[in-house]
Amino acid sequence: MKLDLLAIAAHPDDVELTCGGTLLKMARRGYKTGILDLTAGEMGTRGTPETRAKEAAKAGKLLGAKWRGTLGVPDSDVQPSRENKLRLAQQIRMLQPHTVILPYWEARHPDHYHASTLGYEACFLAGLKQLPIDGEPFRPFKILYATAYATIRPAFVVDITAEYEQRRRAILAFASQFRPGKRAAKSSVHLAIDRLEEQMNQLARHYGQMIGVQYGEAFLTKEPLQVEDVVRMPVRSI
């Protein structure tokens, strides 16, 4: 399967939280989209890998993804090792995505910033003819970085107002994480994820306000963006 857009992230639910609305918007426009979770999330305090796999499958369908897979990297040990880069490069060659979304390269969670490095280097290596993996050499055309966890000014924001409610349903499909039940609610251990869904919704409103819409998702590119028509550019300056 050749994908138009592939989102790569460290854990199940990372894509839903950071760029799920954008994936859904592109799927609704007829593009073939996919999600690759580097780990099964087996180190999470809540839920089992089997439970999270079922939740991920449901969430992927809600976002209109044509493909979702797991690379099998150990959770809490996402590293840009040679072995991991070759495995990911093999997936890149198989899926041939035109555009790839990666996590921003600075983050609180080591898995997230290592996932960014691993993703970029695998995308590059996949284009090397002599790489000792199967498939024809292939390199994505565009790499975007989802900046939801970062306190930086994005290069652009995608309007996800029409996709917001469906994105929210996809996030809440991870019931083991965001609807933990009475036992977890009474626990003396308070996890960051207890407020994560609320915080991500607040961020969506913040990014939406930046471009004059209700909800948005923010991205960064390392290269400048090309503009053809400076007269009809959206978003008011004053």
Report the CATH number that the domain containing residue 149 is assigned in CATH.
3.40.50.10320
> What is the per-residue pLDDT for 124?
98
Give the CB-side neighbour count of residue 75, counting CA atoms within 13 A: 15
Task: Select from 10, 5, 1, 4 the least CA-distant residue to 119.
Answer: 10
Nearest to 3 by CA among 35, 25, 29: 35
The number of folded domains in the chain is: 1
Q: What is the mean pLDDT of the chain?
A: 92
Q: Is the residue at 71 inside a domain?
A: yes
The tokens of 50 are what? 């089997």
Of 178, 180, 156, the closest CA to residue 19 belongs to 156
Which domain, by its residues, includes 181?
A: 5-220
Instruction: Tell me whether residue 226 is in a domain.
Output: no
Tell me, yes or no, whether 231 lies in a domain: no
- DSSP string across 208-233: HHHTTSS-EEEEE-SSPPP-S-SSS-
Question: What pTM does this model have?
Answer: 0.92
Summarised one tens digit per residue, pLDDT across range 3-62 is 999 999 999 999 999 999 999 999 999 999 999 999 998 988 787 889 999 999 999 999
Instruction: Judge whether 236 lies within some domain.
Output: no
Q: Which of 130, 45, 133 is nearest to 91 (CA)?
A: 133
128 three-state secondary structure: coil
**Per-residue model confidence (pLDDT) at position 189:** 42
Identify the pLDDT of residue 147.
95
* Pairwise CA distance, residues 115 & 26, whole Å: 23
Q: Is residue 80 part of a domain?
A: yes
Establish if 237 belongs to a structural domain. Answer: no
| Phi, psi torsion values for 142, nearest 5 degrees | -135, 140
**pLDDT, position 177:** 84
Q: So what's the pLDDT on residue 190? A: 42
Q: Return the ∠ at Cα 189 (arms to 188 and 191), rounded to 5°.
A: 140
Residue numbers in the chain where pLDDT is lower than 70: 180-194, 197
Q: Does 229 reside within a domain?
A: no
Residue 227 covered by a domain: no
pLDDT attached to residue 20: 97
- CA distances 176 to 35, 119, 193, 195, Å, are 20, 27, 11, 14
